[in-house]
Structure formats: structure tokens, C-alpha cells
Structure 1
């Protein structure tokens, strides 16, 4: 498992997010996502399985804390109000994505020309799937190798 911990990366579920506007397509700009990630901290997530913008202005995060508790948390983007939280004792899988690796993954998406963020998923084989939009607002799905962040597939939906 990658053990790099980055304090600014856990998804934001605290107040003060009302200035961020959710697009009607269920995505956010990378600047908005950076603000969400930078203002987080209360859940202490260090390993991720999913970060997603959901319909209705909700943000969902699934991952693990260092103590092995698996979290599934959802909040409103506009103000960070917690709408759902589930926890269960679990082992942190070796394929999970560490905080610093989330930032590196999002940087690859930006360099690939993507303008908006919809979701990031990690699967048990270590592949990363990023759903985003380019500057013509076309949906694009990037598939990355989790070991070196190289692009192994692009699907223009």
C-alpha cells in the first residue's frame, strides 16, 4: 500500500463551501475540487476508493482512516452539511489510493486537458478511473495505471 499522507487531500465535509457552485451536469471545476479537498480534515481519510460529485449538489467519498475504519461519507457541496456517514471496521486494501496519489492523479487529468471533475474510482486491480469533461463539455473517461499514473485508456463518451 502507498503510505504517503497528505493533510490537504481528504474530501471536504466541513462548512464554508457555499461559494462553490455546482454545475448542472453534476461536476465541478478543478479549482472548486481543490478548494473542497484543501478545506477537509475532520474525517482523517488517508486511503481512497472513490471521490464523486453526485446529482443534487452532493459530494461522496469512500475510503479508510489510518486506524482501519472504512468510511462512506456524503455531504452537501453548498455548505458541507453531512447527509450520510457509514463506518465499518476493515483492513486498508493495498490497492487503495493514498492522499498524495489523489493529487497526482488529478494532475494527470488536468494535463490531459480535462476541465471539470465528476468522479475518481480505484478498483481492486489498482486501476484509476477518472470521469471528467473537456473544454467542449464532452465527457471523457481516463483509465490510469495506479502504480505509475500512466494513461492506459481514454474513452470519449
Structure 2
């Protein structure tokens, strides 16, 4: 193999590895694209969306028929890497696709540039973790009914 090609492949591999392990987050546009993939897969309600350190996008939520789904999508090619399903009932506090978008709007208005995770709990509190433009880690707490930010934690 050509020495220049080998050097280029090594540099590309190191670059991809560094990006993947840097902070386990994705842009809003990437999150929305992955959210659409999850919707196409059958998700109608969401509990948790997370970019993890293994180049995976984890999605937990429910199908229209109430089955609880837990899948991992590859960030590289959107392949399904893990899939679990169990019969369940869809809770009222889960988020619709549009509500996830509203939560992303609130995060963007709070200057969150990169998203690591979005999670809603049974009390109706949405937690979004990510990074601002100065690469500070931020946790936002959002009221599910009003989509107003009700708390902020910053790592300095």
C-alpha cells in the first residue's frame, strides 16, 4: 500500500477517534436528524435520548401500541446496534416528538450548542445536558408544561 495513503488513513482514524471521544455530544441538527430516524423506527413518545461515548445514540421511549423501546443507533451510519422491546403502557409524562423539539428550542435559547442527553422524569422535569460555545458543561432543567428553564448547573 502507498506510504502516503497509509499515513492519511492513520491520521483520519486518529481524528475520528479523537472527535468521538471528545465530549459525547452532537449538534442540534444532528440530534434532530437522529430523532427523525427514531420516529421512523416507530417511536411516538420519548423518555431519554443520549449520545454516548461509543459513537452511539441511545433512544428510550414508546411506540403507539404502548411497547417500550430501547435502541442504540450508530452515529456513523444510523445502523441499529441494540434493540430491546417490552410490553408497557405509555406514561403521560413522556415527550412527543414536538415536545422534544420545544425542549431543544429552550436549550438553544439558553445557549446550549451541543447536546449530550435529554431526559424527562415522572415529575415532568426535563433535563438537558450539553455544552455551550466556551465548551462549558451545562445541565438545564426545564418544566415540561411550559418549556421554561427552571434551573441551570454549569461546570466551570
Which runs of 5 or more structure 1 residues have no equivalent in the other structure?
Answer: 1-20
Alignment check: 8 A CA contact 2:131 2:138 kept: yes
Q: What is the RMSD computed on CA atoms of the aligned residues?
A: 1.4
Q: Partner of 2:57 in structure 1?
A: 59
Q: Which moved more, 1:42-51 or 1:62-71?
A: 42-51
TM value normalised by structure 2? 0.83
Q: What is the distance in 2 between the residues matched to 1:32 and 1:117?
A: 9
Residue number among 138, 141, 146 corresponding to 2:139 in the alignment? 141
Q: Considering Cα pairs closer than 8 Å and 6+ residues apart, tell me whether 1 or 2 has the greater RCO.
A: 1
Q: What is the distance in 2 between the residues matched to 1:141 and 1:40?
A: 24
Which runs of 5 or more structure 2 residues have no equivalent in the other structure?
Answer: 1-18
Q: Partner of 2:78 in structure 1?
A: 80
Q: What is the distance in 2 between the residues matched to 1:143 and 1:55?
A: 23
TM value normalised by structure 1? 0.82
- Residues 1:124 and 2:122 are matched in the alignment: yes
Runs of 4+ in structure 1 deviating by more than 3 angstroms, as ranges, are 38-42
Q: What is the distance in 1 between the residues matched to 2:140 and 2:127?
A: 6
Aligned residue pairs, count: 137
Which SS does the other structure have where 1:37 is aligned?
helix
Which SS does the other structure have where 1:56 is aligned?
coil
Which SS does the other structure have where 2:61 is aligned?
strand
Structure (1 or 2) with the greater helix fraction: 2
Q: What is the distance in 2 between the residues matched to 1:39 and 1:82?
A: 10
Between structure 1 and structure 2, the one with the greater Rg is: 2
Alignment check: 8 A CA contact 1:49 1:121 kept: yes
